[in-house]
A and B are shown apart, each in its own frame.
Chain A
């Protein structure tokens, strides 16, 4: 890349991403980028392609066409493991935790600290516990005990554990799919504050949400998907709720009348 160029390199850039499932076109050419330390909100109606796009970014799906560029280099992920190696992590809507296992093991699942011993890796449970404590402290997440099984936690606590897992190893980009959809109302604020604190740690976050309150509370920029393409995007300061709601429905020149929260 040309060093003279004034704009800094985006952390992740998607170029003309297309995804087919058989005869169905889920994504018909999506272009977007996210910068380091930026919180990007992604909105769109059901079936607009949000989840498909995020699964491509996190390595769960491979795109049919198009290119992902991470820190200036084209990348191809054939599994979530490869995306995670570069620091791209996903927090799933259902948290994707093993409920039968303690908090600390969930945080380091698949990346357990320990020593290689032939084909096996001997897990250092004490170090894992210590690392988990330290990491949760850093994120200001408090739990009764890191030995608690995650099935005994509330929705907000599970979400916090899922976020802790995503950020356990130097994450550069965390993708969150509907982070507040499964939470009690009093827990939503905590999770949104957690997203803001990730930004303060220099982590870029992509937040998919249906809730305008979430988007306008914690995002820097918002992008709307409509029928499998990127329809519009703007800095948060340059737009408003009604305009974004209009984008979700595929209209650019919104009118007040389209606002869903207005009583007619």
Chain B
């Protein structure tokens, strides 16, 4: 048994770059924006805003990461988020106590995720794209049916706390501060990191993404793990709905149309492999921040929203191309 010695291959260094290289990109982007518009970009209000606006997307992307690591995809997260939002808002309006309303979001998400898992493992639909495309439509349809297409307002103030509040901590003046939604994202990210890296189920998720056959013959109950994976993704979609309903103050049925594609983009920009087996929590957070910073930077420089879409499109392509080149260079040095 020898440790890595004189050769070019250093697993530790390769691992470090794979894990933290993306953070460098975020820092470079921030530095560029700070140089171009120091007074606007670096203001506490602007930074608070970036974090608050992207909290829901960050949660969706964390859930999406778990699915993409298995080599799957979940198109239903936007609908699930909207369904959770209107369920929370309607329950609140008919006077359900707020601690129960808080649970509604995650429970709706878990239920949709369970349905996705069942479609994949019991019905054996050929690809998660199919099942989640179905639940995307079913969820959105339910959302419209429940609300008649109109936003549901009248949220109890306690329900808005997670989405809208921030802590001044004696340092910041309103409307700046540490958003509570950021704390929710941070706790979620840490717990998810621990789950993926320190529990056997988390490691099985990566193994399934790398080689499902290997996982199966190693005694991993692949169907059970996959169902759990889609439930985790749904849970995060429900939690994202809880934050967004708090931030906007109403359950609007059009919320999150197309946001599943943003979540997928953030995961891919963050270095996860679309074919499964590779992807990190840190990368996803960086992916969300790269998209958020790009939008914010273009906004504060008065660039049209149409250009933002074009640029994000290029970023996705470039990010994956860099990954292709890097992996080609890394193979068997």
Name A's B-contacting residues (CB within 8 A). 58, 60, 79-81, 84, 90, 92, 94, 96-102, 105-106, 109-112, 114, 117, 120-123, 125, 133, 136-137, 142-149, 152, 165
| Interface flag for B310 (CB, 8 Å) | no
B302: chain A residues within 8 A (beta carbon): none
Is A98 a contact partner of B207 (Cβ separation < 8 A)? yes
Is B200 a contact partner of A120 (Cβ separation < 8 A)? yes
Complex alpha-carbon distance, A84 and B218, angstroms: 9
5 more CB-based (< 8 A) A-B contacts, given A80-B216, A98-B207, A100-B206: A80-B218, A100-B277, A110-B220, A112-B203, A152-B9
A149: chain B residues within 8 A (beta carbon): 11
A99-B277, A123-B200 known; A133 and B210 CB under 8 Å?
A: no
Q: Identify the closest chain A residue to B216 (Cβ).
A: A80
Is B204 a contact partner of A96 (Cβ separation < 8 A)? no
Of residues 1 through 43 on chain B, the ones whose CB sits less than 8 Å from some CB of chain A are 1-5, 7, 9, 11-12, 15
Is B1 a contact partner of A133 (Cβ separation < 8 A)? yes
Q: Identify the closest chain B residue to A58 (Cβ).
A: B217
Q: Residue A98 contacts which of B201, B277, B332 (CB distance < 8 angstroms)? A: B277
Smallest distance from the beta carbon of A108 to chain B beta carbons, Å?
A: 9
Is B198 a contact partner of A97 (Cβ separation < 8 A)? no
Q: Residue B4 contacts which of A79, A100, A145 (CB distance < 8 angstroms)? A: A145
B201: chain A residues within 8 A (beta carbon): 120-121
Is A110 a contact partner of B215 (Cβ separation < 8 A)? yes
Complex alpha-carbon distance, A149 and B217, angstroms: 19
Q: Residue B203 contacts which of A109, A133, A147, A152 (CB distance < 8 angstroms)? A: A109
Q: Which 4 pairs from chain A and chain B are nearest by CB? A: A98-B210, A100-B277, A110-B218, A100-B210
Is B210 a contact partner of A99 (Cβ separation < 8 A)? yes
B200: chain A residues within 8 A (beta carbon): 112, 114, 120-121, 123
In the complex, 10 of the A-B residue pairs with CB atoms within 8 angstroms, ordered by the A residue number, are: A79-B219, A98-B215, A100-B210, A100-B273, A101-B206, A105-B207, A109-B204, A121-B201, A145-B11, A152-B332
B195: chain A residues within 8 A (beta carbon): 120
Is B219 a contact partner of A80 (Cβ separation < 8 A)? yes
Q: Identify the closest chain A residue to B275 (Cβ).
A: A100
| Interface flag for B331 (CB, 8 Å) | yes
Is A98 a contact partner of B1 (Cβ separation < 8 A)? no
Complex alpha-carbon distance, A117 and B195, angstroms: 12
Complex alpha-carbon distance, A249 and B207, angstroms: 40
Complex alpha-carbon distance, A98 and B210, angstroms: 5
A147: chain B residues within 8 A (beta carbon): 11-12, 15
B12: chain A residues within 8 A (beta carbon): 147
